[in-house]
């Protein structure tokens, strides 16, 4: 089988997240500034059509706030086919992170070409200062989605905490919002927090 490298973007840091649509098209979501979060930038979407070998940028998924960025993301599809992107970022001052810039939700009904953004989505309060990461997945229970997020409990060590999350993080809590009911189960405390949010997003009116 032939293999090749496709360049999606240049002068961008990354956190790339790939989605394959039912029609075979590929979408890639990423932070569009060439810095590990220490520059202003947005989360953008690039597309490769099923019949093409080229990538092209098609939209801005999450726009940066003043003096800030949108850099971390969790991406997936709702049961009705809408694309969803939970994102977070930071406020900057002279190249330093000074404040968390929120846990937001972007939604596209048009294959990633246009987005609406909710800067105050319905999520558990425990997750509002957490960083979404990875894939939003559809669970077997119709209308229920799940995604992971994490939060550093220390100051000045975001990089080491990030590795802990990827390599050895234990599940600290499970939050369920099905039927408006929240259940929180705690286990051993570890250097970071990780929660799996189960969200009833078959109810479109909740987040539109």
Give the pLDDT confidence of 58-84 residue by residue, as tens digits: 999 999 999 999 999 999 998 889 999
Taking 90 as the threshold, does the pLDDT of residue 3 lie above it? no
pLDDT of residue 156: 57
Phi, psi dihedrals of residue 168, rounded to the nearest 5°: -145, 15
pLDDT of residue 127: 81
Q: At 190, is the pLDDT very low, low, confident or very high (cuts 50, 70, 90)? A: very low
Q: What is the mean pLDDT of residues 176-193?
A: 31
Taking 80 as the threshold, does the pLDDT of residue 174 lie above it? no
pLDDT of residue 155: 60
- Across the chain, mean pLDDT equals 75
Q: How far is CA 159 from CA 20, 57, 145, 163, in A?
A: 29, 29, 28, 7
What percent of the chain clears pLDDT 70, i.e. is strictly above it? 71
Q: How far is CA 35 from CA 9, 18, 19, 38, 183, in A?
A: 14, 20, 23, 6, 38
At 159, is the secondary structure helix, strand, or coil? Answer: helix
Give the pLDDT confidence of 112-170 residue by residue, as tens digits: 999 999 999 988 887 888 888 899 888 777 678 888 888 766 565 544 333 222 222 22
At 92, is the secondary structure helix, strand, or coil? Answer: strand
- Domains in the chain, CATH or no CATH each: 14-206 (2.120.10.10)
């Amino acid at each position: 089988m032939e293999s090749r490298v496709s360049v999606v973007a240049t002068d961008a840091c990354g956190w790339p997240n790939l989605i394959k649509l039912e029609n075979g098209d590929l979408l890639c979501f990423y932070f569009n500034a060439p810095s590990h979060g220490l520059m202003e930038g947005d989360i953008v979407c690039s597309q490769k059509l099923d019949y093409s070998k080229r990538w092209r940028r098609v939209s801005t998924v999450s726009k940066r706030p003043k003096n800030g960025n949108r850099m971390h993301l969790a991406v997936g599809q709702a049961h009705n086919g809408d694309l969803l992107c939970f994102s977070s970022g930071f406020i900057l001052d002279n190249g330093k992170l000074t404040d968390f810039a929120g846990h937001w939700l972007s939604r596209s009904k048009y294959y990633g070409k246009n987005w609406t953004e909710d800067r105050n989505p319905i999520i558990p309060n425990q997750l509002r200062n957490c960083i979404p990461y990875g894939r939003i997945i559809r669970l077997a229970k119709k209308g229920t989605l799940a995604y992971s997020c994490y939060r550093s409990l220390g100051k000045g060590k975001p990089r080491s905490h990030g590795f802990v999350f990827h390599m050895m993080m234990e599940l600290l809590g499970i939050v369920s919002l099905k039927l408006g009911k929240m259940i929180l189960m705690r286990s051993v405390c570890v250097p970071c927090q990780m929660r799996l949010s189960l969200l009833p997003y078959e109810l479109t009116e909740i987040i539109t």
